[in-house]
Amino acid sequence: MYSEHTENINRLSEKVGDIRAKAASQSRALDSDEAGLVGEMLACIDDERRHLPEPSRTMQMGNRSFVGGQVESGMGGAPYAMVGPNDRKDYKSLFGNSGHKWTDKDTNFFSAVFSGRHHPGLITNTMSETVPSSGGFLVPDESANRIHAVSLESEIVQPRCYVQPMRGDTIKIPAMSIGAHGTNLFGGFIASYKAELGALTEANPKARAMELVAKKLTGLIRFSSELSADIPGGMGQIEQMCGKGLGFYRDKAFLKGIGSGEPLGILNSSCVVQVPKEAGQKKETICYENLTNIMARMFAGSFANSIWVCHQSTIPQLLSLSIAIGTGGSFIPVMSESNGVFTILTRPCIFTEKTESLGTAGDIMLADFSQYVVGLRQGMRFDTSIHVAFETDEILSRIIERHDGQPLWNEALTLAGGTTVSPFVTLADRLV
């Protein structure tokens, strides 16, 4: 019986590997049909694995080794494995079913926390790498999943990047140095055509270790005691509030975090390429040449995955841009819209307030978020106190999540002709 489940797992795993290998051989991400098929097969694999006894859950899945139901190394498809840009990123897909369960059908988790009374289902987290006394109640998987799902809906970066679930405070990910194509690939790979028995050229590609260190993001919510008891919509409102709040600040850090005490955002990374403004260009403007020059500096292998991320203050400028056709006075708008989706020069465009405002470097960016990685710790925490705002009869609550993020590239790529390209390209300041 168990061998049947193992065979099904291996068969599905091979199919997943074949689909991903095909996309990798073509230097592209999975298309929507492939991503959907992979998601379905990974869900089937999870179902098959539940039929295996714990001691029998050590097996090979493609080139990944599973021990006790957890991935020790490799990518995608099971708890603690890195998942790709087109893989499922719901809480269960990232962390499996190994977290905290809430079993009280009469009282929900948040009501139990707000009550201030003892409840056997409340698990206190008193383990912290930096603050031993730091507590808070572990959020049950069901609520954590809903909070996580809400944040993904409103985020720009995490749904499109690699995500590495983290067991501990830090994790190291192997990566290659970028280098320059004029002399080698990946910081040291050299290949050349040789005659029979000809001497081979020695090459030493340079590998590097990326380290993700979990940073603590704390969101504070203030409730009146009456509202905490009779909050409209029940505890789902709190999950919505926490999810959208975490998603906003996490996304903002992934886009422009400084890297000290918070994730390293794309706009402050060493691999971002900044295109200069045009000669004589007026301040706080965007011209057609800015956009074409940005596209020219996008790494060719990233173009198919790239999207424009623009501050909402750029909308008037982008709407006024057009391309003249012939001499008859006809124009084609640079930005177009179809079914609510905006595109600029064939690539999708997202407007946000999380980048920089018009005229500041970073107000418009062409980005391939598949070249960014996020490390996410399991175990959200939620805590509450009546003491901070005792005089006003208010309850102060906090939601805590730990994560990190940084680009996979350590520098821009220098092409053979000397031009630098990157998966992340922005426009320089136009403030003067």
Pairing between β-strand 307-311 and β-strand 64-67 as defined by DSSP bridges: unpaired
The partner residues of 66 in beta bridges, in order of sequence, read: 59, 71
The number of domains in the chain is: 2
As a whole number of angstroms, the distance between CA 420 and CA 208 comes to 21
> Phi and psi (nearest 5°) for 362?
105, 0
| 375 in a structural domain | no
**Residue 120 has what pLDDT?**
73
117 and 237 share one domain? yes
Residue 254 belongs to some domain of the structure: yes
pTM above 0.85, yes or no: no
* Segments forming the whole domain that contains residue 244: 109-169+213-266+387-404
Same domain, 28 and 162: no
CA torsion, ordered 276, 315, 369, 355, to nearest 10 deg? 80
Q: β-pairing, 424-427 with 413-414?
A: unpaired
Residues 63 and 143 in one domain: no
**131 and 238 share one domain:** yes
The answer as to whether 9 is a domain residue is yes
**Are 391 and 249 found together in one domain?**
yes
d(CA 2, CA 229): 49
- Domain annotation covers residue 101: no
- Residue 395: which of 220, 242, 218 has the closest Cα? 220
Residue 171: what residue type?
Answer: I
Q: Are residues 119 and 64 in the same domain?
A: no
In a shared domain, residues 34 and 72: yes
User: And the tokens for 399?
Assistant: 């939601």
Q: What is the pLDDT of residue 373?
A: 95
DSSP state of 9: H
Whether residues 6 and 61 fall in one domain: yes
With respect to residue 397, please indicate whether it lies within any of the assigned structural domains. Answer: yes
**Do 40 and 133 fall within a single domain?**
no
* Distance (Å, whole) CA 348 – CA 337: 9
Domain's final residue, options 55, 88, 121: 88
Q: Let me know whether 73 and 116 are in one domain.
A: no
CA atoms in the 13 A half-sphere facing the CB of 370: 17
Amino acid 173: pLDDT: 86
| Alpha carbons 377 and 92: distance in angstroms, whole number | 13
Q: CB within 8 A of 388, min separation 6: which ones?
A: 396
Is there a domain that residue 301 lies in? no
Are 29 and 154 in a shared domain?
no
The amino acid present at 39, given as its one-letter code, is G
pLDDT in tens, the chain (432 residues): 446 767 787 788 778 777 877 776 676 667 777 777 877 787 787 677 666 554 333 333 233 332 223 333 333 344 567 888 988 888 888 887 666 778 787 777 777 777 767 777 777 764 444 433 445 788 888 888 888 888 888 899 999 999 999 888 899 888 878 878 877 776 677 777 777 766 666 555 567 788 999 999 998 887 776 665 555 555 677 788 888 999 999 999 999 999 999 999 999 999 999 999 999 999 999 999 999 999 999 999 999 999 999 999 999 999 999 887 766 666 778 999 888 889 999 999 999 999 999 999 999 999 999 999 999 998 888 887 767 777 777 778 889 999 999 999 999 999 988 899 999 999 999 999
Give a yes or no: residue 335 inside a domain: no
Regarding whether 151 and 81 lie in a shared domain, the answer is: no
